[in-house]
Amino acid sequence: GNSVTQMEGPVTLSEEAFLTINCTYTATGYPSLFWYVQYPGEGLQLLLKATKADDKGSNKGFEATYRKETTSFHLEKGSVQVSDSAVYFCALRMEYGNKLVFGAGTILRVKS
Amino acid sequence: KAGVTQTPRYLIKTRGQQVTLSCSPISGHRSVSWYQQTPGQGLQFLFEYFSETQRNKGNFPGRFSGRQFSNSRSEMNVSTLELGDSALYLCASSRGGVGNEQFFGPGTRLTVL
């Protein structure tokens, strides 16, 4: 079946450090790919998305590129802030439905 | 525009009881999906409703059910609660077409004792 694997956390960084959270997927077909963020006590917020190969999603300084050849969608940010501390989820959605398949989530902690 | 609202936000039940959770989608949205979030299993899809019909279903036992009303509000019900049903239940709404962005509510935290 379709699945998403993302790096285990927690990831602890100092403010202004570079962030990478790895995400790979397995899917039969042509999924859309997403990164969601969850702050403590809240639901999920869409951070960015990409709907086809080589698309780059970006938002609030975060970026991810849909790489079909490596089945990856790694999240990056050049300079993290304390306010970026949250749980980040990589997810896919197949072209024929709205069901989201999520990775396990990666906790990010940014220290000042 | 108001976001997705879920009630109640917190709930404590005992084993064997049943529970009903409610989700009010964003105005104009016709699709509601439900997800269960647990530390062990992560985020798992329960079901999706569109125009009062279940459009897709995840791999959960029949104790988990849902429905959608004509105003697009949705409820999910869990009968004969088990300890393992303790979780954060999230609902997401979208306009309804395949591929429309989904917007998540804050969730209902269910604790089963």
**CA distances (Å), origin A53, targets A60, A73, B1, B95, B100:** 22, 10, 33, 25, 19
Diameter of chain A measured on Cα atoms: 44
Q: How far is A104 from chain B (nearest CA, A)?
A: 5
* pLDDT tens readout for residues B70-101: 999 999 999 999 999 999 999 999 998 777 88
Q: Compute the nearest-CA separation of A57 from chain B (Å).
A: 14
B94 contacts chain A (CB < 8 A): yes
Residues of chain B with pLDDT under 70: 1
In this predicted structure, what is the pLDDT of residue B46? 97
Contact residues on chain B for A93, CB-CB shorter than 8 A: 99
* Residue in A44, A93, A105 nearest the CB of B90: A44
